[in-house]
Chains A and B, each alone.
Chain A
């Protein structure tokens, strides 16, 4: 079995840069990682296979598991695609990668293609994932990804995703981080949009010891709609860092960043949402919101909305709130007979569900709601409703 450490090459110096200020991954530099291909039990795959009627791509430690997958038209593996990597090279991500298969999904239409990426191994295992989502002019692609690190090891998963949306194309990407609470996930998402395209992404973190999700978006045409949503619920010793940079390069585009989460124990969340507006990008409408509920004194939410604007004709708003459960709302529920602890659960659920409600894919939403409720204190009560 091949193993290696990343040594001082990247992880140690990362923490010293401004962009990684609040996320320290230097421990990874000393970890000895394996890069083994391995098997994942059929039953585990089925557990996470939430939409058996839809196409499915299963990747284990970055390699396609063909027998467990249900490939369809529009999906290719390791095709020598012209676009491959071209968008990613524009971003300034410092996350390294290791060799893996490249999945290309092109113009697959309305049906949701599910991707299940596992990282598994007897010892700490590092893997990358590479998914390119391409919608040509007027085409549509919808992808639902689930990332699962298995077991109690300090696995490291470094998924890279690219979205290219042509003129009037529509791309929806929902991603959920589920599974182990001991793994690291360092992910990059690069989005490139042309005129009148519409891209919706949603990144949901319900697991992991330390997750960093970078989003680099380039709005290269006019009348573009972009929604970057995120949700997280974390407890003791969990950390999430949502790091976004949305570049408005042309006039009349709307972008929205809407991230919200609940932090318990000593969990920590970092949100950096940078909006960059180019000189000629007039009538830009950009919104960034980060809302946190902290359930304990040790939990910590850091919000950094950032604006970098080079013309006057823009409407950029940002808002960050961090607080406890709303006492007035709690009283309202209690005044209707709902006991205090159930009222709290209901309010937590409502807070996060506001983010899940918009998920277009029913199976995905159902699976995540289920996972959410099994993690949430008192979640069983919600199930009875």
Chain B
């Protein structure tokens, strides 16, 4: 049996003393796309932040492994270097340094972590051109402050661009579709689909079935009140779309409704 890309077992996490995740279990194998859906405040972003190593969130119980390695032993930057990428729901703005400048730091930090030589300026810019094109991102944006004054859609596109630049093994996308117009949704999805391959896994957090028309998931999970209460194939998303979360409200982990 091969080691899963991500294995989460009975994960409990709290922030400022409030338990938000109340026993999440999830296994993502290489090549798989998992979608997580769930009502506002159910803990989706919390799960994403816990995976990324946000220090405000405390893991109180349970385990999480990335390619067999205990994630709790790695700091946020080490997790990124190991191959975990989070496309943030709300990317921060950092005026004063450009995306290009900051990504050069990121790319080189990762190469250093892997014992590789730094990328020279020319190769770096070639890579930027190539990856920006893959998500139809105007490269002028990359000379502005990081996310500074970007529109909602531009921020999301920039996140996927960063993901393409950093070539992670596990991609966690937190509502990358919200704020995108129909064309942009297609462009971003195409960008993601180009990155789909046998070695990479995806966790796609979304509220909308329509994203999953573009990025077709292998599994769909429903997260409610800090727990995954139902898992299924891509048809589960359609069920949710039709019936809303109300239909699942009284489900236990052994959910049988729908």
Name A residues whose Cβ lies closer than 8 Å to a Cβ of B. Answer: 326-329, 331-340, 342-343, 346-347, 349-354, 357, 381, 384-385
Instruction: Say whether B75 faces chain A, with CB atoms less than 8 Å apart.
Output: yes
Contact with A along B81-109 (1 / 0, CB 8 A): 10001101001101111000111111111
| Closest residue on chain B to residue A348 by CB atoms | B96
Q: Most chain-A Cβ atoms within 10 A of its Cβ — which of B53, B102, B166? A: B102
Interface hits, B167-190 → A, CB 8 Å? none
Judge whether A340 and B75 touch: CB under 8 Å. yes
Instruction: Say whether B145 faces chain A, with CB atoms less than 8 Å apart.
Output: yes
Instruction: Say whether B162 faces chain A, with CB atoms less than 8 Å apart.
Output: yes
In the docked arrangement, what's the CA distance between A85 and B217, Å?
A: 76
Residues of chain B within 8 A (CB-CB) of A333 are 94, 102, 105-106
**Sample of 17 more A-B contacts, CB < 8 Å, known A335-B77, A336-B103:** A328-B92, A332-B91, A332-B94, A333-B94, A335-B80, A336-B80, A336-B106, A337-B81, A337-B106, A337-B107, A338-B105, A342-B105, A343-B77, A350-B96, A350-B146, A357-B96, A385-B108
Q: Report the minimum CB–CB distance from B52 to chain A (whole Å).
A: 5
Contact partner, A332, options B56, B79, B88, Cβ 8 Å: B88
Q: Most chain-A Cβ atoms within 10 A of its Cβ — which of B94, B108, B146? A: B94
Q: Most chain-B Cβ atoms within 10 A of its Cβ — which of A336, A337, A349? A: A337
Judge whether B110 and A350 touch: CB under 8 Å. no
| Closest residue on chain B to residue A357 by CB atoms | B96
**Dominant secondary structure at the A interface:** helix
| Closest residue on chain A to residue B87 by CB atoms | A335
Q: 5 closest A-B pairs (Cβ-Cβ)?
A: A350-B96, A354-B96, A336-B106, A337-B80, A334-B76
Judge whether A353 and B109 touch: CB under 8 Å. no
Residues of chain B within 8 A (CB-CB) of A346 are 97, 102, 105
In the docked arrangement, what's the CA distance between A346 and B98, Å?
A: 11
Residues of chain A within 8 A (CB-CB) of B88 are 332, 335
Judge whether A331 and B55 touch: CB under 8 Å. yes
Instruction: Say whether B54 faces chain A, with CB atoms less than 8 Å apart.
Output: yes
Q: Most chain-B Cβ atoms within 10 A of its Cβ — which of A328, A332, A354, A384? A: A332
Q: Most chain-A Cβ atoms within 10 A of its Cβ — which of B76, B101, B166? A: B76
Judge whether A334 and B53 touch: CB under 8 Å. yes
Judge whether B86 and A385 touch: CB under 8 Å. no
In the docked arrangement, what's the CA distance between A63 and B110, Å?
A: 53
Q: Report the minimum CB–CB distance from B84 to chain A (whole Å).
A: 8
Judge whether A347 and B94 touch: CB under 8 Å. yes
Interface hits, B28-62 → A, CB 8 Å? 52-56
Judge whether A350 and B80 touch: CB under 8 Å. no
Judge whether B145 and A350 touch: CB under 8 Å. yes
Judge whether A335 and B97 touch: CB under 8 Å. no
Residues of chain A within 8 A (CB-CB) of B118 are 384
23 contacts between A and B (CB under 8 A): A328-B92, A329-B94, A332-B92, A332-B94, A333-B94, A334-B75, A335-B52, A335-B53, A335-B76, A336-B166, A337-B81, A337-B107, A337-B113, A338-B77, A338-B102, A338-B109, A346-B102, A349-B97, A350-B145, A353-B96, A353-B97, A385-B101, A385-B108
Judge whether A338 and B106 touch: CB under 8 Å. yes
In the docked arrangement, what's the CA distance between A223 and B21, Å?
A: 58
| Closest residue on chain B to residue A382 by CB atoms | B105
Judge whether B162 and A349 touch: CB under 8 Å. no
Residues of chain B within 8 A (CB-CB) of A350 are 94-97, 145-146
Judge whether B95 and A340 touch: CB under 8 Å. no
Residues of chain B within 8 A (CB-CB) of A338 are 77, 102, 105-106, 109
In the docked arrangement, what's the CA distance between A357 and B102, Å?
A: 16
Judge whether A342 and B109 touch: CB under 8 Å. yes
Q: Report the minimum CB–CB distance from B6 to chain A (whole Å).
A: 16
| Closest residue on chain A to residue B54 by CB atoms | A331
In the docked arrangement, what's the CA distance between A334 and B166, Å?
A: 13
Judge whether A352 and B103 touch: CB under 8 Å. no
In the docked arrangement, what's the CA distance between A382 and B154, Å?
A: 26
In the docked arrangement, what's the CA distance between A72 and B145, Å?
A: 38
In the docked arrangement, what's the CA distance between A384 and B118, Å?
A: 10
Judge whether A352 and B77 touch: CB under 8 Å. no
Residues of chain A within 8 A (CB-CB) of B79 are 335
Residues of chain B within 8 A (CB-CB) of A329 are 92, 94
Q: Report the minimum CB–CB distance from B236 to chain A (whole Å).
A: 29
Judge whether A337 and B95 touch: CB under 8 Å. no
Q: Report the minimum CB–CB distance from B224 to chain A (whole Å).
A: 26
